[in-house]
Amino acid sequence: MPNTLTIYLLEDSADDVYLFNQSVHLDDNFQYVIVDFSSLTKLQAAIHFITPDLLVIDLNIPESQGLQTLVEVKHMANDTPIIVLTGNDESLGIQAIQLGAQDYLLKEEINYSTLKRAIRFARERSMLYAALEQRAIKDKLTKLYNRAAFDQRLANFEADFIRYQRPYALIMFDLNGFKTINDEYGHLAGDKILQHVADRFQMFNRASDFICRYGGDEFILIVPNVETEEQLVKIIDSKRNIINGDYTLQIADKKLIHAPISIAIGGAIRNIKDKAPNELLKLADQNMYADKLKCL
């Protein structure tokens, strides 16, 4: 039984939609589900509901022309691989790849062979890039995202705020007394504590939230759609309950230790009245430090 592959096609020409469907349905290895859209608005609504395996887009549609169409689609498509369709302008296709498309096809050259190759190449290239990116943006010790990934994700949240006025919160965490654990039991024990803390963050983290190891024993959480201090306090209390507690570790000679761990937490909300990301980060850090002083 062939595998199913869902493709969203952005194309306003009925003739080109027909040609595309006729070409892909010759493939015996995949059962294609082709859903075509004539506008960016309709495509965005569909992606919000179900993410496809592949996007194939015509760069020139009534509401958007050229590479700007790719920019708009990339913004809504997350990591979905994209194949670009162009008229007879190969240089435009090359520019599209430079902007993040996985492949391009000239419309006059679309047939079963070229389309099959482009689909396979786009998916393989996307998976390869995803694997390389994960290695580059993940912290080796905790398997959480690292600071480089945080910088990029924060930029994405900020772009959504500027464009759609979607508020978000930054919450910073720092382990209390972590140096004491390292000094008393060694850095291997400290590493295990960081791994256990990271596991708890992962286990109780929502898909829409972003958690990273910022450095040392500091972690940062980005939470979308936080508008009030009451919401922020509720999230902070929840995370404190999740992380605080005794951690059981096995150290040298099979010895077990029980290390009490607590975290200092500080947060700040990005909304119309508040500050830009760097200042927001500074405010969250100040609030975290104030919380840490209460534990001394």
- Give residue 123's pLDDT: 81
Lookup: tokens for 207: 């898909």
Residues 151 and 130 in one domain: no
Q: Residue 222's closest CA among 235, 209, 207? A: 209
**Comparing 296 with 116, which gets the higher pLDDT?**
116
Mean pLDDT along residues 283-296: 88
Q: How confident is the model over 41-92, as pLDDT tens digits?
A: 999 989 888 888 889 999 888 888 888 988 899 888 878 899 898 887 788 8
- pLDDT at residue number 254: 66
What is the domain-level CATH number for residue 110? 3.40.50.2300
**Do residue 85 and residue 127 come from a single domain?**
yes
Number of domains the chain is built from = 2
Residue 172 pLDDT: 96
Percent of the chain whose predicted confidence (pLDDT) is above 90: 31
Neighbours of 237 (CB within 10 A): 11
Is 78:52 a contact under the CB 8 Å cutoff?
Answer: no
Q: Give pLDDT, residue 184.
A: 85
Binning pLDDT at 50, 70 and 90, where does residue 132 land? low
Average pLDDT across the chain, whole number: 86
Range of the domain at 169: 147-295
Same domain, 119 and 169: no
Last residue of a domain, one of 108, 134, 160: 134
Here the tokens at position 251 are: 């150290």
Amino acid at site 100: G
* Cα–Cα nearest to 202, from 212, 193, 192: 212
pLDDT surpasses 70 at 274: no
